[in-house]
Amino acid sequence: MSYKDEARKYQLLNTTFERNLSKPTYEQIENLVFFDKDCNDIQRKNNYTFLANLEEAINSYVQESEIDYQKDNTFDGSPDCGCDYDCECSLNVFAMSTFKNIARQFNLDLENNNTLVNNALAGFTVGEQQRLLSCNIAEVVRIIMYKSLSYLSYDLGFYDISFKHHEVAIIMYGGIMVDVRVDITDYLEEEISARGKKASDARWQPHREEKKERKKKYVKIMKDKGFSTYTDAASYIKLHVDTDKTPSFPTVCRLLSEADKGDFS
């Protein structure tokens, strides 16, 4: 494939990704939340203007939030993802919590202060304000917020995080469709927990493999040399095989005991 063809392929991929990030669209939200088909022309225009006002305010809030995933982060447990290119897998794992904190703070601010919504309503008549507020505005605001986080993480190159926040926005949109409020906090907590476990597993996997190989080697030496006790076998191993400080003598004994009982984990 030529360089030109390769560039076109990635351009098409990026375009498709960006189009997906735009969903749910204004039109989809309007039809679902504001019952746009039942609105007159003025109300439809107000629906769109209100959503645009909300999006502008939320985007400003997100853009002004501190995105510092490196602060106080030792990156312990950085996963060995196995990618054969300069990927962002490790950063995605650690940056996820930063984006979650932005969402958490936004929800707290929204609960304690309605300034954002009130400002978005400014300029509408009292009757229109009441009509707009009678809809599921809280969920609409949160959907727009997660879409904004999705765009921001995409711009920063955190594509996995971008996809996850877009997924959250879609799930919430689906919740409105079936009139069910989705607990996104638990959803993201579970996601981050799973990512943390995956990172930990990836970090310690080489250690586990090494321990497994040691067990196989030690129990073979014990049987080949005819040792009847773990201490005798461990003494031989420390004197002639693994002579460094690690593994220690007690560790060798423990590994021998576990392996002799069939535990090679």
- Count CA atoms within 13 Å of residue 106 on its CB side: 29
CA of 35: how far to CAs of 22, 30, 40, 136, in Å?
20, 6, 11, 11
Could you tell me the pTM of the whole model?
0.61
- Grouping H, G, I as helix, E, B as strand and the rest as coil, residue 25 is coil
- What residue spans define the domains of the chain? 3-182, 208-260
Tens-digit pLDDT profile for the chain (265 aa)? 565 676 777 778 778 878 888 888 878 888 888 776 788 999 989 998 999 999 999 988 888 876 655 554 444 444 455 555 445 566 666 677 778 888 888 888 888 877 889 999 998 999 999 999 888 888 889 899 999 999 888 887 778 888 888 888 888 888 887 766 655 655 555 554 455 445 444 444 555 677 788 888 888 888 888 888 888 888 888 888 887 766 777 778 778 877 887 777 6
Ramachandran class of 125: left when φ > 0, alpha when ψ lies in -120 to 50, beta otherwise: beta
Q: Which residues contact 264 (CB under 8 A, 6 or more apart)?
A: 212, 215, 216, 258
